[in-house]
Structure 1
Amino acid sequence: MKTTLLNTAITIALLSVGTAAQSEAIPLSGQSETEWRHTLAIYAFLPARTSGDSTVAGVTVPLDLDFGDALELLDFAAAGRYEAWRGDWGFIIDANYVSLEADGSLPTPGSAPFSADIRQEWLGLLAAYKAVDAVGGNGQRYAIDLQAGARYNSLRQEITVTSPAPIPVLGGDEGWWEPVIGARGTWVLNERWTAIASLELGGFGAGGNDLQVGANVGVDWRPWETTSLFFGWRYFSMDYSDTLSTGAFEYDVDQHGPVLGVKFRF
């Protein structure tokens, strides 16, 4: 029964959102380097493939799943990133929330009903510094900024069976603080297009999270003066493990797929 429940829970845990870190260290034409400039971005990460292992109540299930199985079970998802820059220094707030729910019946005598609640969220607070700001051979500007800070991370994997006889909730809800570091490169291609690559690392063993990785490559297209669209590809992985009262609780998963976003500057 536990294996059947875990398979169901992991199937609905595929859809997630994430922030594609992109640099605001280079001001737009007309923006002052010495005054504050702000950016608010909203993103959606659509994992085309999820692979790895997940463990709830001591039962491990290998994963090799696509995006389509989870889309219809999404309860709510939101992700955003706020950046404030002045000169070479910046401050970043990075937030992510995704909640998925499923109800069904076990393929056992009596068709015992169950519900699964999957949730992942984080809030990151980072300082950033523009370490490189130069002009390339084509006359276009490029920059590299470095980031460091802390992130509160929360992971829930809970399964409840209500009949024929109630059993304890399988899995649980874990939360922890962890350090985060990152780097981003931005290359201005022309007045409308900018290429961006970024890498972010977190966890380093804090709270049971051995390593959390987010990497993005893509382009920013600015059809309007203060609004732009981002198109890219994102890789995300998480290696978390702990032991709860109901048994081992682990999440060792890799995801990759397209990421889309809209960004507002003010």
Structure 2
Amino acid sequence: MPSLAGAADLAYDPAPVTEPVNQRIDKTWEFLVAPYFVAANITGTSQVGRLPNTDIDIGTDDILENLRFGGMIRTELIYQQKVGAMLDVAYMNLGSATDTPRGGGRIRVGVSQLILEGMGFYRAYATPQTSIDIYAGGRYWDIDLDLNATGTFAGNFTISRGDNWIDPVIGVRAFHMINDKWSVNARGDIGGFGAASDFTWNVQAGAGYHFNKTWSAHLQYKALGVDYDNGKSGTASFAYDTITHGPLLGIAARF
């Protein structure tokens, strides 16, 4: 989805040549920028105030039809091909995106989702064709829900509620050059651990095509899950238990 939850990862891609990692580009510092798009689906449940759990089932068609604004970009900085940092921002603002039967009527749910990831990584393994990074950091969530009920037992009403939190995250990612044009990559992480959400996870994998040392295109499949409950009761309660998944397409430039 233009995701969301999501943050998405265009794995750091060494230049497509068979040279040692630290000799591929004669720079102490290297920078990567990668705008991307996720044709996502969001499924799960939400709970706001004293309302019962409301199903969320937003498909790619719903997102494209109701998208008010969205943007996704990833940046990375690496020092001497050994340590680095990465920042990923994914924002999506939907109008009324999903319609759920409830209480004799229907509840229409709109979602605004910002996911920001900040990670540091260490290159634990490197050969001319392969690299493996271990990373850790935080995943920031800012979720706002708009619920519009019509014809329910409780009448017609509109409720807007949201929350934000930061989950600690640890993970690993791997990259492999098949030849001078094609590569494959994968990433997985877990987090939350009760510090904010009960649990969050992310997995993604795909392939890349390298036009030259600077430009490459990437196609992946990504799934990002979270199970969050603010632990409050009554009108202040808020819960968000969803999985955002779908194909990711991006362009990366390395400098």
- TM-score, scaled relative to structure 2: 0.80
Where does the alignment leave 5 or more consecutive residues of structure 2 unmatched? 18-22, 102-106, 150-155
Aligned to 1:55: 47
- Quote the offset at 1:193 in angstroms: 0.8
Aligned to 1:237: 225
Aligned to 2:93: 99
CA distance in 1, matches of 2:108, 2:187: 37
Aligned counterpart in structure 2 of residue 195 of structure 1, from 166, 173, 184: 184
Any conservation in 2 of the 1:171–1:249 contact (CA below 8 Å)?
no
Aligned length: 239
Residue 210 of structure 2 is aligned to residue 217 of structure 1: no
Where does the alignment leave 5 or more consecutive residues of structure 1 unmatched? 1-13, 108-113, 136-140, 162-166
CA distance in 2, matches of 1:96, 1:64: 19
CA deviation string 1:125-178 (max 9, x = no partner): 21110001125xxxxx111001111232211113368xxxxx986241211222
Identity rate, percent = 27
Aligned to 1:43: 36
- Quote the offset at 1:180 in angstroms: 1.6
CA distance in 1, matches of 2:141, 2:113: 8
Any conservation in 2 of the 1:22–1:198 contact (CA below 8 Å)?
no
Any conservation in 1 of the 2:2–2:72 contact (CA below 8 Å)?
no
2:91 corresponds to which letter in structure 1? Y
- TM-score, scaled relative to structure 1: 0.77
SS at match of 1:205: coil
- Quote the offset at 1:116 in angstroms: 5.8
CA distance in 2, matches of 1:261, 1:33: 25
CA distance in 2, matches of 1:145, 1:205: 25
Residue 13 of structure 2 is aligned to residue 21 of structure 1: no
Aligned to 1:90: 84
CA distance in 2, matches of 1:75, 1:244: 32
Any conservation in 2 of the 1:89–1:130 contact (CA below 8 Å)?
yes
1:77 corresponds to which letter in structure 2? G
Once the two structures are superposed, the pairs formed by residues 112-131 of structure 1 within 5 Å of their partners are 117-131=110-124
Change (3 A) 1:233 1:202: same
- Quote the offset at 1:55 in angstroms: 1.9
1:128 corresponds to which letter in structure 2? F
